Amino acid sequence: MLDVDYVLVNEKPVLRIFGKDAKGGTVCGFYEGFSPYFYALGPNVEERLSGNPQVAKIEKVSRCLPMGYQEPREIYKVTLRNPARTVEVREGLVAAGIKTFEADIPFKYRWMSDSGIGGMKWVKASESNALDTISVIADSKVQLKSVSAIEREEDAPLKYMSLDIETVSDDEGKMPEAGKDPVVMISLVFEPAYRGKKHMILSTRRGEGVEPSEKEKDMLQSFVDIVKEYDPDVITGFNISNFDIPYILERMRKNSVRPQFGRCSSKYVRADKFANNYRIGITGRIVADSYQMVKRGWNLKRYGLDHVAKSLLGEEKADVKKSEIGKLWKGSNEDFGRLARYCLQDSILAMNLLLKRDLLDKYIALSKISGSLLQDILEGGETQRIEHYLLREFNSEGYVIPTKTDKKVVVEENGAGLKGGFVLEPKKGLHSMVVVLDFKSMYPSLITTYNICPTTLLTDGYADDAVETPGGARFVPKSVRHGIMPRILERMMDERGKVKKQMRAAKGKTRKAMDMKQLALKVMSNAFYGYFGYQRAKIHSLEIAGAITGLGRQTIQQTVKMIEEGYGHEVVYGDTDSVMIKITDSDLEGAEKIGRDMAEKITKKLPGIIELEFEKIYKRFLPLTKKRYMAWSVERGSDGQWKEEMVMKGIETVRRDWCELTSETMRQIIEIILKQDDVKDAVSYFRDVVKSLLDGKIEMEKLLITKTITKKPESYLGIQPHVELMKKMKQRRVMEMPGIGDRIGYVIVRGPQMLSKRAEDPVYAMDKGLCVDSRYYIDNQLLPPLERIFSALGVNKDELLGMGKQMGLAEAINNHREKDAPVPVVDARDVSGFICRTCHKSCRRPPLIGVCECGGSFLFSSSSGPAERMRLS
DNA sequence: TATTCGCGGGG
DNA sequence: GTGTACGCGAATA
């Protein structure tokens, strides 16, 4: 089942399933006779609705409200005729103070939920004679008498099409505008092939290997015809959701071409803008944007196609500058050919990302687990899929779900907030042989163990066997009512265990699918806790979310106590669901044995299904602060062998605004500290780097800092190094100027001006024999990150630089400046702040009395150097 | 130190 | 379509 929608036929809704059969053929099934409905609770419901032509039926039914432990009660089930009129009926009731339930469920989901069918799953359909009142593209069209789910693991084969467009505008500095700039080329990639072709290039210019069109309008029409004929299930591309497709649609509008390339010609393809994103709707097909999936699934520095293709596929992208496109388009046949190859390459890369990295697998698994349609999984968040899932589960137990109230974002809740996990204050220093134990699926296990559920929460009344949580919330025990949440989670965790076990024996595609399934089960079960804490959730309850985190904190604190008091080991750190324990006088195997033994014994003492597991060993562990540490970690792989890894948490060794020297020095020093356990050696390594820097022995390349030009230089309000360099380059009439969106690299050279004005093009600096400002690199690039690391080892800045005894380096740094930089003359406009001579407090503006709070006088500070060396011009 | 602002991807 | 509604780093208060 790929997609579901409905159409009105003779003012009655007809539901449609767009799907595939096992052979890969397309099917469209029509279902009539299902009506929209919702629930209402309050005074005079019947009177208010009587005579309303939209209301088909009002009946009293017995249902349970989900929030708070309570018995079922009579509420009204209101059945309507037309799904589209639900809102007006609902709002009429809401205005009269009547509570509604499930009055905001999209009609297709109402039906899917009630029928027990879901996205990407198989449907058993009893068919009768086909009827196609609406022109639908499908190999077979059937009228459905009934539908039901069938369990069948394997997926139907899908057809994929990738696309990329090129446009040309007169103003090359800006992004093209769909209102005026035409599409000149469209590349398409097919999998499997279309009419024997793996790909096609459409263009409004003739050229080798290109399908030419006279006008843009003809090309757009060909595009529509090809999509309809090829009939793909999945449409991909790189950022097509927010660029190519909305752009094509706008051009079609301008050219009076009907955007009919969905599987129903009476429903046009649409792009609805919300916030700064478009949502694309192509009936019966799935838009799966490679860019969006990569962005969600990988943590990369940048997400440009060139960068993504290189890091995920190992494929280089032939570079065509965005500003070159116009020239190539108007240029020689060779230029045009280059543009065509470039265009095609982009759709090929997007397709390769999707197929070679199996981008859809995870989303298909989530779709099957949650019951949501694949398209909704791709663009929606966790909340949406949990809500669809809960609707089924709660309904089948006789509960109703509230309609989402659009309450104005409650501020006090934000302020009070929700207490999270417990984080131990890390024990200072470099620790060796630290065993890491953690709680397996902590929050889901707590929900299950303590029977936490909206349906078991005691809101009032008394129950002497209620389970009280640290936050004060009380839940009835399972013997009174087994909560829906605990049951869902038990089932999911159980299922995940089974899949993981089966997986070991499987291989190839099946194994991959199983892996995705267990991952989806993990993702889903971990998301329930966050759901209750989310303000906009239909069942939002800080009481429930707080009960879960409260029990988490209680559990980890009890565990720490057991380890320290019961076993005499020192717990050096812990966060939410993990504890790090220092094991002394043991080798790796010994420490592992102690860890496993403790985990097992403590698990036995913990209630319910809460389980503490041995995870790994940190051969060396250096905490900096809470949430920030580094470690040399070893873990048993699936083959039972130890696998080592350097772990960094909350510590970046690579950052865009750091030069290569910084990243490299950090990596080296971390390695020396963790692997060689030699702080002295790390300090001397650092000093060597500083010394080489002072001696001018570091290549400029390693000192290159890069920043992105985000707007026109004149629109920057502040003074920034990379922008100042742009201005200088413009004056020098540099040929290849970086444009908006390009990254520009610079080094900071010595001189009397403020820092931002001393940014230089490394090539220019080299030519003119300019020296880099070593002092800047030491103070602003090397010291800030490294000082933090060394201070965790008890080495302060003075010691690090060899102040005191050796008198070497710090002196050298100061002398260095003495020689090279004359006392800077500061322009008043460059003064960036003031520093107190006595207490060293700094501020942007001094108090009006002109002296610091402590009574000390102020020094000026500017970006060109330290305060005591300033003179104001 | 908190809060607001602006951009990402794409031509 | 019984609609929806980001997230993170830099700039600024």
Q: Residue length, chain A?
A: 873
Residue nearest B9, CA–C1′ metric:
A239
Per-residue confidence at A715, pLDDT binned at 50, 70, 90?
low
As a whole number of angstroms, the distance between CA A639 and CA A251 comes to 56
A321-332 tens-digit pLDDT: 888 899 999 999
pLDDT of residue A27: 93
Going by C-alpha positions, the residue among A606, A621, A564, A568 that lies closest to residue A436 is A621
Average pLDDT over residues A422-447: 94
Measured CA distances, A425 to A19, A580, A614, A626, A629 (Å): 55, 12, 21, 6, 12
Strand B contact at CB of residue A242, distance < 7 A? yes
Going by C-alpha positions, the residue among A383, A382, A365 that lies closest to residue A374 is A365
Residue that has been written with the tokens 């099957």 in this structure? A368
User: What Å value separates CA A484 and C1' C5?
Assistant: 29
pLDDT of residue A829: 38
- Protein chain A, residues 658-677, with a C-beta closer than 7 Å to any atom of nucleic acid strand C: none
Residue that has been written with the tokens 């992105």 in this structure? A708
Q: Which nucleotide is nearest to A169 (CA to C1')?
A: B11
Strand C contact at CB of residue A281, distance < 7 A? yes
pLDDT of residue A416: 55
- Whether A804 shows a pLDDT value over 50: the answer reads no
Average pLDDT over residues A643-654: 83
pLDDT of residue A412: 42
Q: Tell me the CA end-to-end span of chain A in Å, nearest whole number.
A: 75
Q: A577 and A584 in contact (C-beta within 8 Å)? A: no
As a whole number of angstroms, the distance between CA A720 and CA A710 comes to 12
User: What Å value separates CA A298 and C1' C7?
Assistant: 15
Kindly give the pairing relationship between strand A37-41 and strand A26-32: unpaired
pLDDT of residue A740: 64
A170-179 tens-digit pLDDT: 887 788 999 9
Q: Which nucleotide is nearest to A272 (CA to C1')?
A: C4
Least confident of A120-129, A262-271, A682-691: A120-129
Least confident of A227-236, A407-416, A529-538, A715-724: A407-416
pLDDT of residue A847: 43
Average pLDDT over residues A553-564: 96
Residues 6 or more apart from A666 whose CB is under 8 A from it? Answer: A653, A785, A786, A789
Q: Contacts from A546-549 at CB under 8 Å and sequence distance 24+?
A: A546/A418, A546/A419, A546/A471, A546/A473, A547/A450, A547/A452, A547/A469, A547/A470, A547/A471, A547/A473, A547/A475, A548/A443, A548/A446, A548/A447, A548/A452, A549/A418, A549/A419, A549/A420, A549/A421
As a whole number of angstroms, the distance between CA A566 and CA A559 comes to 10
A772-782 tens-digit pLDDT: 888 888 888 88
Kindly give the pairing relationship between strand A12-20 and strand A26-32: antiparallel
- Whether A256 shows a pLDDT value over 60: the answer reads yes
A12-21 tens-digit pLDDT: 999 999 999 9
Mean pLDDT of chain A: 87
Dihedral angle computed from the Cα positions of residues A454, A459, A464 and A465, in that order, rounded to the nearest 10 degrees: 10
Per-residue confidence at A112, pLDDT binned at 50, 70, 90?
very high
Q: What's the gap between Cα A676 and its chain centre?
A: 36
Going by C-alpha positions, the residue among A358, A354, A328 that lies closest to residue A341 is A328
User: What Å value separates CA A712 and C1' C12?
Assistant: 20
User: What Å value separates CA A740 and C1' B3?
Assistant: 28
Instruction: Write the single-letter amino acid at A173.
Output: G
- Whether A799 shows a pLDDT value over 60: the answer reads yes
A59-80 tens-digit pLDDT: 999 999 999 999 999 999 999 9
Going by C-alpha positions, the residue among A646, A589, A639 that lies closest to residue A618 is A646
Strand B footprint nucleotides (protein C-beta < 7 Å) = 6-11
Strand C footprint nucleotides (protein C-beta < 7 Å) = 1-7, 10-12
pLDDT of residue A787: 85
- Whether A221 shows a pLDDT value over 50: the answer reads yes
As a whole number of angstroms, the distance between CA A495 and CA A532 comes to 23
- Protein chain A, residues 346-385, with a C-beta closer than 7 Å to any atom of nucleic acid strand C: 380-381, 383-384
Going by C-alpha positions, the residue among A509, A517, A453, A463 that lies closest to residue A484 is A453
Q: Of all residues in chain A, what percent carry a pLDDT higher than 90?
A: 62
A287-313 tens-digit pLDDT: 999 999 999 888 887 899 999 999 999
Strand C contact at CB of residue A83, distance < 7 A? yes
As a whole number of angstroms, the distance between CA A133 and CA A301 comes to 51
**Residue A659: exposure state from Cβ atoms within 10 A (0-12, 13-18, ≥19):** buried
User: What Å value separates CA A269 and C1' C1?
Assistant: 14
Q: Partners of A28 in the beta sheet?
A: A18, A141
- Whether A345 shows a pLDDT value over 80: the answer reads yes
Strand C contact at CB of residue A387, distance < 7 A? no
- Protein chain A, residues 290-349, with a C-beta closer than 7 Å to any atom of nucleic acid strand C: none
Residue that has been written with the tokens 């509008």 in this structure? A253
Q: Which nucleotide is nearest to A181 (CA to C1')?
A: B11
- Which helix (H) or strand (E) segment holds residue A598: the answer is helix A588-605
Strand B contact at CB of residue A243, distance < 7 A? yes
Please provide the DSSP assignment of A482-546 as one string: --HHHHHHHHHHHHHHHHHHHHHH--HHHHHHHHHHHHHHHHHHHHHHHHHH-TT-TT--HHHHH
A666-690 tens-digit pLDDT: 889 999 999 999 999 999 999 999 9
Residue A810 is encoded by which pair of tokens?
């710090």
3-state percent helix, strand, coil for chain A, nearest multiple of 5:
40, 25, 35
Going by C-alpha positions, the residue among A802, A789, A707 that lies closest to residue A748 is A707
Residue A220 is encoded by which pair of tokens?
């757009």
pLDDT of residue A763: 84
pLDDT of residue A818: 41
pLDDT of residue A337: 96
Strand C contact at CB of residue A830, distance < 7 A? no
User: What Å value separates CA A277 and C1' C5?
Assistant: 10
Please give the order of strands across the beta sheet that includes A705-708.
A705-708, A743-748, A759-760
As a whole number of angstroms, the distance between CA A615 and CA A601 comes to 15
Going by C-alpha positions, the residue among A631, A635, A8 that lies closest to residue A267 is A8
User: What Å value separates CA A765 and C1' B3?
Assistant: 39
Per-residue confidence at A413, pLDDT binned at 50, 70, 90?
very low
A809-855 tens-digit pLDDT: 666 666 655 444 433 333 333 444 444 444 444 444 444 444 555 55
User: What Å value separates CA A470 and C1' C10?
Assistant: 40
Q: Which nucleotide is nearest to A291 (CA to C1')?
A: B9
pLDDT of residue A849: 47
Going by C-alpha positions, the residue among A832, A838, A839 that lies closest to residue A866 is A832
Measured CA distances, A645 to A128, A636, A674 (Å): 61, 11, 11
- Whether A146 shows a pLDDT value over 50: the answer reads yes
- Protein chain A, residues 332-351, with a C-beta closer than 7 Å to any atom of nucleic acid strand B: 346
Strand B contact at CB of residue A323, distance < 7 A? yes
Helix axes A679-694, A809-820, angle to 10 degrees: 10
- Whether A762 shows a pLDDT value over 50: the answer reads yes
Q: Which nucleotide is nearest to A376 (CA to C1')?
A: C4
- Whether A654 shows a pLDDT value over 90: the answer reads no
Per-residue confidence at A869, pLDDT binned at 50, 70, 90?
very low
Q: Which nucleotide is nearest to A274 (CA to C1')?
A: C5
pLDDT of residue A797: 83
Quote the pTM value: 0.86
pLDDT of residue A758: 85
Least confident of A126-140, A313-327, A384-398, A421-435: A126-140
pLDDT of residue A846: 42
Q: Which nucleotide is nearest to A321 (CA to C1')?
A: B11
Q: A17 and A4 in contact (C-beta within 8 Å)? A: yes
User: What Å value separates CA A108 and C1' B3?
Assistant: 41
Residue A537 is encoded by which pair of tokens?
């959730």
Q: A366 and A523 in contact (C-beta within 8 Å)? A: yes
Q: A860 and A826 in contact (C-beta within 8 Å)? A: yes
Going by C-alpha positions, the residue among A313, A316, A312, A288 that lies closest to residue A300 is A312
